[in-house]
Amino acid sequence: DAGVIQSPRHEVTEMGQEVTLRCKPISGHNSLFWYRQTMMRGLELLIYFNNNVPIDDSGMPEDRFSAKMPNASFSTLKIQPSEPRDSAVYFCASLRGTDTQYFGPGTRLTVL
């Protein structure tokens, strides 16, 4: 199994630009999670989907953030417009049923 796949691995952009992060969960997994990791706040859950439906987006910081899961094998996290304080590592994780979450390698985002 290829594991959770995320792209890009690194993204550098300028303030105000739109950023789109992508995730492909492990085949057969029916839940998907987006996290943000910073030194100050640790791992924060942004949103999670179950069977492609957003279940809890209470962690999404503000309206500039949006996430979609059009099908079972693909999800996006979009930031528009981006700000320097959005700089962080963004992780996607997936699970099947009540098993544990498996994390992708992350996308390191730098907003200048």
Partner 1 sequence: GENVEQHPSTLSVQEGDSAVIKCTYSDSASNYFPWYKQELGKGPQLIIDIRSNVGEKKDQRIAVTLNKTAKHFSLHITETQPEDSAVYFCAASIGGNNRLAFGKGNQVVVIP
Based on the shown chain and the rule CB under 8 A, indicate whether residue 88 belongs to the binding site for partner 1: no
**Those residues with Cβ within 8 angstroms of residue 51's Cβ, 6 or more apart along the chain or in another chain:** 30, 31, 72
Binds partner 1 (CB under 8 A): choice among 43, 61, 80, 112: 43
Contact, 69 vs 52, CB < 8 A? yes
Taking the complex as a whole, how short is the minimal distance between the CB of residue 75 and partner 1, in angstroms? Answer: 15
* Binding string, residues 44-83; x marks residues near partner 1 by CB under 8 A: -x--x-x-----x---------------------------
| Alpha carbon distances (Å) from 4 to 20, 30, 47, 54, 94 | 17, 13, 16, 19, 7
Residues that bind partner 1 (CB under 8 A): 4, 31, 33, 42-43, 45, 48, 50, 56, 91, 93, 95, 98, 100-106
